Structure 1
Amino acid sequence: MTDRIKVGFVLLSNTQNAIPSTRIVVLNMLPYLKAAGFDAQIVFEPATSTKTPDVSGLAEKIKAQNFQIVVLQKVFGDSVLELARELRQAGIKTVFAICDFVNPAMCEATDATIVVTDHLRSLYPKEQQGRIWVVHDGVEKPQFHKTDWGTHSGSSARPLNAVLVTSAGLDRLPLLGSPPDWLKVTIVGRYSPAGSRWRRWQENKWQMDSKNGASERWRYLKFLASRRIVCEAWGADSVYDAMQRADIGIIPIEVDPVRDPTGEWSVKSENRLTLKMAMGLPVVATPIPSYEPVIEQGVNGFLARSNGEWLHYLAALRDPALRQSVGQQARQTALSRYSMDRQADKLIAVLRDVAGAAPHTATSTEQARA
């Protein structure tokens, strides 16, 4: 029997208050790694989430405990680069994972880099791409899904419900502005709970004070006053309740260099899309590089490139039979391609390859990079 490969994880966030990426990339994977024969342990977690932690002195602890691989979960900066160099000198392999941004310096300093999409891998320097693997975000709770897509087509008196899940506290409905009169939109994001009226009032006041000019303030007032836009606080369980109540999933993204000069939208993972698809929701989304390979237009979802297309595809989904057909196909796609099981297999293949614990065959490489 071979010795267990000892893997240490340096985390982006604390395990007691783990942000989604830490949960998806590391915590959800630990049982799979254990079952595959790895000795996986957390070697560093910050008190509060930070991408640039101070990890000085950590190399000595890692060396003393005989780790063979250290996974750096979305952390970088001078201190992390120095850690990677010290571990390399000690013969300990390092993996930079899982990244929704481009950081050639970290890729150069480590033995392997894991990114969330093929598009993101293509953005790295050509000479580094041979050391970059693709492991997608795995669907977390596939047991939650729709079984009833309704029989009504929506009206002003009984609107259909579209859900938008976001990590932000949106102060407008992107692209659409105002929903058609037969549709209500529930935005699940960074808001105070509805019962916390004082905190919600403070949030609204802060947003209002941050607006420039009367037109911006008026637009925000209309957003707050709209009876067809509801803002709910994100919660690990309540987000699934919100999706269960919904008829349609939407992901409108403003691909706008003025509103988003960083272009962060272009390197995002499929997570928000596959989350809704695994629920069995028919989704209309803005086409971004990570979404385009997933959506088969009109079969398991819709990509809308203009306001006219948004309204057209939303109107098409007033048909209950189409909502059910697209929703069922969406769930099948999400579970077959983006299950935790499949992503764990890819992660395990990467770690075994880095450790030299398995033959570097075409099969294992293709599985990890698919």
Structure 2
Amino acid sequence: MKLGLILASNASLPQPSTRIAVLNMLPFLRAAGWQCDIVFQPAPLADSECPDLSALSLEALRGYDVILFQKVAGPSAVALARQLGVAGVRTVYCVCDRIGTEMAAACDRTVVISSFLRSLYPQHLQPRIEVVCDGLEDTSVVCEGTRQRRGGMLLPLRAVLVTSSALSSLPQIGLPPPWLAVDVVGRYPDSTQRLERLKQAVRLVLNCRGWRARLRAAAFLCHPRVRRLRWSPATVALALQRADFAILPIDTAAGNGRGIPDWQLKSANRLTLKMGAGLAVLSTPIPAYEEVLEHGINGLFARNAQEWRQGLQQLRDPALRRRLGAAGRERALRDFAPDVQARALLRVLNGLAVPSVAHSAQSETHV
């Protein structure tokens, strides 16, 4: 069986969604008998979710059982998906953090990362939408163990926050309490790039609206117990191993002006990353997280600043950190290991690879 991949980013420098949803799955798919070929990818650092696919040869694509569009949409992708349907080639639209109704209608199946995201699609598309959660990337990363202390000014506890952005504050928290240090792993220059770090800090401060917000950003960026670390797999692994617990504060007041705010569409991968490392997690509840974290069982939720202060105080207890961390790792390994993700994706692909009368009928609707 042959699978053709249309990627939103180049495989040599992939964005996280390309790496997690597709590239990490290739060894499992090939072991299950699928020949996997990249039939389109943008140039390195030229990521595009709406590329021009008109140069792809429809005749060449006919040789594949399934074509998978990884987060690729737009008029050109929709037109190609419809043409493939008419030609008898099955199609999958794989999307992680948005609602792609037009692509979902054009493709045989749509793969989303949470039941909540699935529920946002029109009712008539629901039978063709499958949930495949993002899997863990490295199950060998485990925290070094719960330290038997509550933290203080001289020996603070350490929390870790992994993000895809460059934060200028800690949402919901503000500045860490005196007994806590925070490692923020995100889109920051390396610590050796002092001039670049200074330039970024100035930009982050100036991007804030109002002098109060700018003062808060400056206090965060200069705080002696906040370390801003450049994202890399090695940096993430080391930060997780050295942390006492993990935090996931989200600014739920932020919107995008387009209805459902972006934070509601996020996948659970940043949560399961931390749970998989055996860390107790304190998080803002968002739909994908609420499908995984059970408050008081394998983590803690905090909905406002007061609950965040209370949750942080609770996590000073080493016994609680140990219990929540162990339960979180058990859940993450059971439901989000890479082979679990691969089996779910294979069920979708194998189901499509079997010719059916239903597909022939659906192909006619793509004309």
TM-score class normalised by the smaller sequence: over 0.9
Which residue number in structure 1 is paired with residue 265 of structure 2?
Answer: 267
1: CA distance, partners of 2:344 / 2:264:
23
Aligned partner of 1:323 in structure 2 is: 321
Identify the match of residue 351 of structure 1 among 340, 349, 352.
349
Which of the numbers 224, 229, 232 marks the counterpart of 2:226? 229
Tell me by how many angstroms 1:145 deviates: 0.6
Count of aligned pairs: 354
Native 8 Å contact 2:134 2:341 kept in 1? yes
Q: What residue is the counterpart of 2:51 in the other structure?
A: 53
**Which residue does 1:253 correspond to in 2?**
250
Query: Does the CA contact (< 8 Å) of 1:296 and 1:302 recur in 2?
Result: yes
1:185 aligns with 2:186: no
Matched with 1:20 is 16
- In the alignment, residue 236 of structure 1 is paired with which amino acid? P
Structure 1 residues 357 and 348: CA distance shift in structure 2, 3 A: farther
Amino acid across the alignment from 1:342: V
CA positional deviation for 1:50: 1.1
For 2:240, the equivalent position in structure 1 comes to 243
Q: Which whole-Å CA distance do the structure 2 matches of 1:357 and 1:331 have between them?
A: 40
In the alignment, does 2:165 pair up with 1:130? Answer: no
The structural deviation recorded for 1:214 is 2.4
Unaligned runs of 5+ in 1: 361-370
Which 10-residue stretch deviates more, 253-262 or 201-210?
253-262
Shift of 1:62: 3.2
Deviation at 1:213, TM superposition (A): 3.3
Question: The residue matched to 2:60 in structure 1 has which SS?
Answer: helix
| SS of structure 1 residue aligned to 2:203 | helix
Kindly provide the CA deviation profile for residues 144-184 of structure 1, in whole angstroms up to 9, marking residues without a partner as x.
11241111110011110011110010011111001111111
Structure 2 residue runs of 5 or longer lacking an equivalent are: 359-367
Preserved CA contact (<8 Å) 1:12 1:73: yes
Distance 1:94 1:147 in 2: 44
Aligned to 2:337: 339
- Asked if the contact 2:144/2:241 (under 8 Å) is kept, the reply is no
Equivalent-residue separation in structure 2 for 1:92 and 1:140 (angstroms): 31
* Mapped pair 1:98 → 2:95: yes
Aligned to 2:361: none
Alignment of 1:1-370 (within 5 A): 5-47=1-43, 48-60=46-58, 62-63=60-61, 66-257=63-254, 263-356=261-354
- Helix, strand or coil at the partner of 1:119: helix
Letter of the aligned partner of 2:177 in structure 1? P
Deviating beyond 4 angstroms after TM superposition, the runs of 4 or more aligned structure 1 residues are 257-262
Percent pairwise identity: 42
The TM-score normalised by the length of structure 1 is: 0.92
1:225-248 C-alpha deviation (Å, 9 max, x unpaired): 211222111112111101111111
Instruction: Report SS of the residue matched to 1:175.
Output: coil
- Shift of the 259–80 alpha-carbon distance from structure 1 to 2, 3 Å rule, reads closer
Contact 1:251–1:283 (8 Å) recurs in 2: yes
